[in-house]
Structure 1
Amino acid sequence: MGTARELDRYTQLATKASKISPKEYVRNDVKRGLRNANGTGVNVGVTRISSVIGYETKGDQVIPTDGRMFYRGIDLYNIIQGLEADQRLGYEEVVYLLLFNELPNVSDLTQFEAYLNAGRHLPEQFKESVILSQPSNHIMNYLQRMILALYSYDSEPDNTSLKALLDKGLHILAKMPTMIAYGYMAQEHYFKQQSLVLHAPIFASSAENILHMIRPNCDYTAEEVRILDLLLIVHAEHGGGNNSAFTTNVISSSGTDIYSTLTAAVGSLKGIKHGGANLKAMEMINDIIDQVSDPHNPADIEAYLRRVLDGKAYDKSGVIYGMGHAVYTKSDPRAQLLKSALETMSQDKPVWRERLEIASLIEETTKRLMKEKKGDDFEICANVDLYSGIVYQLLNIPPALYTPIFATARMAGWLAHILEQTSDGKIMRPAYITLQEEHTYIPMADRKRGV
């Protein structure tokens, strides 16, 4: 490669060539970030899979409302209440609902769970040739490689009929707990010199398989499984407008293979503005415990959060992680469900209780600070990342697996969107307004050096 001086020069050239003023978006009436001027999302498609409600609109006015989320028209709260009444796990049932637009009966669900469990094992030699031969220090990138590698084990990888996509997608979904667990174990072995132990998947739920395969002794409690299952359910899908779901729609509309599409979705989810935010929220809470003299004192929490907003604390970004959402205003139903579960489970667990109390203080204090900053009408709520990070941490799940577990859950929604988009059959091809001016081609001998 070239010298650092050359790279600095190329960086200056690229910075100048890439910069577009935000004023150009306004001048050309382009919805920057696919957002309207009032912050609402631009409509780019239709879906029957799920819906997310966080506000009402009257003209250009956005009116905050309590957050609601629906899977195939069924309120998420009602799904959770039904599962709790029956005292059973529900992620696999939610996958069935999202894909087939109906709730399974006992026989349907039993068959579907068996279908998934039959697909949890990886192909012969996959562990040796893919997982162990090419370890990675970030499991999301590792996961992308593993999904792409499955293409090579498929006799018809480019078959994009709905039947083929469904079969391939379900096999990838079934293998997700195995791939993220093995990816983590390989990472620990090669980068942290830990013993390499790979537990085979068991005939059980996705939540049980995750805990079984990532723990050296394979032990877990029914209580731990229930809250991880809840986490998978609330992460399974979130409307067609979220970044990774939109990615699946764009990529699959081109007619490419499902492995390429899902690899792109994983890449999208990795970003800290999307699925990677749960890790940032957990790290911020850890920073509060380390830096604040009394993390249970509202005044001390407020002082810390003011420094965060001023770009003087935590990562100096000015962002309070775990707060705010593109759609939700007054409340995020996913965050509320996780918070409620944590409140129930933490009654006799002081460590759980401490982190839950800190998160609650962050939530209430941030709401007040943002009203102070933006006006009494401004509404902001805790999002799912504030409480999902606590769930992961209190289950002793390594931080490296936070976002991969999110990806494992969201595979359900991604597959549903791929099937829906494929049925449309039209490639997504939006338009861009060009800002370039016409220039004359300059012969080599007459060119002047750039920066």
Structure 2
Amino acid sequence: MGTQYISSVSQDYISGLCGELEKNNIIKPGDFQKYRVKRGLRNPDGTGVMAGLSHVSSVEGYYILDNERIPKEGKLSYRGYDIKDIIADCVADDRFGFEEVVWLLIFGSLPSKDQIAEIREVLGKSRALPDEFIEDMIMKHPSKDIMNKMARCVMSLYSYDENPDDISTPNVLRQSLQLIAQFPTMMNSAYQIKRRAFYNKSMYLHPIKPELSTAESILRLLRSDKKYTDEEAKLLDICLMIHADHGGGNNSTFSTRVLTSSGTDTYSAITAGLGSLKGPRHGGANIKVAHQMEYIMENLDDSTDDKQVRDMLARIMKKEAGDGSGLIYGMGHAVYTLSDPRAVILKRSAKKLAFDHGFEKEFMTLDAIERLTPQVFAEIKGVEKTMCANVDLYSGLVYRVLGIPEDLYTPLFATARVAGWCAHRLEELTTSSKIMRPAYKSVTKYRAYTPLEQR
């Protein structure tokens, strides 16, 4: 068991202070409209406030006609190239593509065969962490949460860098490639230590094979026997490609760009992305989907029967079942309307493997949730809303089919997304010269100071 931190502040004292804190921190919902403040940096129609320009990637899910938002099939493009085309070419050629995507996102062009070989070699040779790092930074301080441990690791790498604060393009590019390469190693090492410290299970720290692709390396490091099939590795590779970036406005990428705009070091900026992605409203959503699917399957006689699933979805939306949130996790998106291209790709890619490995019922349950949720939403809410499955609906099932533990669902997301964070950081450094400094309207009225003796 890991070392437990015991707070010296009593819970009764904290509970008493909470009322005082809440009393002086409530802002009336109407004040946001009064002062024309866009909460969550969202426009009234739910679209994001335009905060910057980017070459890195584009997320499209609707178009505007006569000031009306018109739904359309979702499209995700990296540097102008449709992610569907990128993945289709990799599948047709039976090759791994994540390293290609890393090159494309950072450098802005499709790599040649020689450039693909070069970037794979660089990443492979850079996967190892500094000498004694795993023992000193991970083994001695095991963490219950892998995302927090990865954040600590990234910040600790600052101390191992001979030139950590130099934000010139060559230095940040070096740091970026090293971090992209090292994320799988950090993730697996943190998980293996958690297995030993909190689950009382054996841990496996295998030697790194630099000639492997990122997807192969992850599966080899994770499994006790170091074995995996090419089909499994190619499916994981697809997951890495579709998670590598998602525009500059998603919370973790925006957090990375905000810190970058201050001129801070690479390790601090990437740690911000990790902290953001951990949140259940962002990268942690795939775990919510997995838990909800398990709940539905456990509480229905047949979770592939449309009538039973429909009734359960209605109860969940009415907050009569589930976790009480009223949400159907994995459904709906801030931008995508008719479809999320990532969900479409994952569903198609995972179906055969899911059926072959005994996850047919899980797949059919998710398919039922995807089909029926818009109908049930319209019945319960009385509002017709264009709604599609998002990437989280199927990503958890893919990981489950691949034998990846739930502890690593979000860390695996981060292992892919660090490529996008680094690309956006480099773009922010090379194209912007202003620190991000939005305004907050103070709604507290002026008060005359009261001396201590008169309070």
Contact 1:324 1:383 in 2 (8 A): yes
CA distance in 2, matches of 1:344, 1:277: 24
Partner of 2:13: 6
Partner of 1:208: 216
Partner of 1:219: 227
Are residues 1:334 and 2:334 paired?
no
Contact 2:61 2:336 in 1 (8 A): yes
SS in 2 for 1:18: coil
Partner of 2:406: 399
1:374 deviates by 4.7
For the structure 1 residues 376 and 6, does the alpha-carbon distance in structure 2 shift closer, same or farther, using more than 3 Å as the test? closer
Task: Work out which of the residue numbers 263, 267, 291 in structure 2 matches 1:283.
Answer: 291
Contact 1:83 1:89 in 2 (8 A): yes
Are residues 1:308 and 2:320 paired?
no
CA distance in 2, matches of 1:95, 1:2: 46
Contact 1:371 1:379 in 2 (8 A): no
1:376 deviates by 6.3
Partner of 1:317: 325
Farther off after superposition, 312-321 or 169-178: 312-321
CA distance in 2, matches of 1:201, 1:12: 52
- Residue deviations 1:232-255 (CA, integer Å, cap 9, x gap): 000000001100010011011000
Aligned letter for 1:280? Answer: K
Partner of 2:91: 84
- Residue deviations 1:59-107 (CA, integer Å, cap 9, x gap): 5421111101100000111111111111111000001000011111111
Task: Work out which of the residue numbers 102, 108, 120 in structure 1 matches 2:127.
Answer: 120
CA distance in 2, matches of 1:442, 1:59: 55
Partner of 2:249: 241
RMSD: 1.2
CA distance in 1, matches of 2:240, 2:293: 22
Contact 2:309 2:369 in 1 (8 A): yes
Q: Tell me the matched-pair count.
A: 446
Contact 2:63 2:69 in 1 (8 A): yes
Counterparts of 1:74-153 in structure 2, within 5 Å, are 74-153=81-160
- Residue deviations 1:383-402 (CA, integer Å, cap 9, x gap): 00000010011111000000
TM-score in terms of structure 1 length: 0.97
Aligned letter for 1:84? Answer: V
1:196 deviates by 2.7
TM-score in terms of structure 2 length: 0.96
Aligned letter for 1:103? Answer: L
Task: Work out which of the residue numbers 275, 290, 294 in structure 1 matches 2:302.
Answer: 294
Aligned letter for 1:142? Answer: K
CA distance in 1, matches of 2:415, 2:66: 39
Contact 1:38 1:61 in 2 (8 A): no
Partner of 1:369: 376
1:188 deviates by 0.4
- Residue deviations 1:100-130 (CA, integer Å, cap 9, x gap): 1111111111011101111000100101110
SS in 2 for 1:229: helix
CA distance in 2, matches of 1:358, 1:134: 39
Aligned letter for 2:415? Answer: T
Partner of 2:427: 420
1:313 deviates by 1.8
CA distance in 2, matches of 1:385, 1:4: 36
- Residue deviations 1:200-253 (CA, integer Å, cap 9, x gap): 221211111110111111110011001100000000000011000100110110
CA distance in 2, matches of 1:132, 1:395: 26
Partner of 2:279: 271
Aligned letter for 2:298? Answer: D
Contact 1:91 1:233 in 2 (8 A): yes
Contact 1:232 1:409 in 2 (8 A): yes
Aligned letter for 1:222? Answer: D
CA distance in 1, matches of 2:243, 2:9: 44
CA distance in 2, matches of 1:314, 1:176: 34
CA distance in 2, matches of 1:436, 1:206: 52
Task: Work out which of the residue numbers 162, 170, 183 in structure 2 matches 1:155.
Answer: 162
> Matched residues, percent identical?
43
1:31 deviates by 0.9
- Residue deviations 1:276-327 (CA, integer Å, cap 9, x gap): 0001101111111111111111111111111111112221111111101000
CA distance in 2, matches of 1:57, 1:319: 28
1:158 deviates by 0.7
Contact 1:332 1:382 in 2 (8 A): yes
CA distance in 2, matches of 1:385, 1:346: 16
Contact 1:248 1:262 in 2 (8 A): yes
Contact 2:353 2:401 in 1 (8 A): no
Aligned letter for 2:246? Answer: H
CA distance in 2, matches of 1:200, 1:175: 14
CA distance in 2, matches of 1:341, 1:63: 29
CA distance in 1, matches of 2:293, 2:305: 14
Aligned letter for 1:274? Answer: H
Contact 2:314 2:380 in 1 (8 A): no
Contact 2:317 2:380 in 1 (8 A): no
CA distance in 1, matches of 2:354, 2:311: 27
Aligned letter for 2:49? Answer: V
Are residues 1:357 and 2:364 paired?
yes
Could you tell me which runs of 5 or more consecutive residues in structure 2 were left unpaired when the two chains were aligned.
1-7
Could you tell me which runs of 5 or more consecutive residues in structure 1 were left unpaired when the two chains were aligned.
none
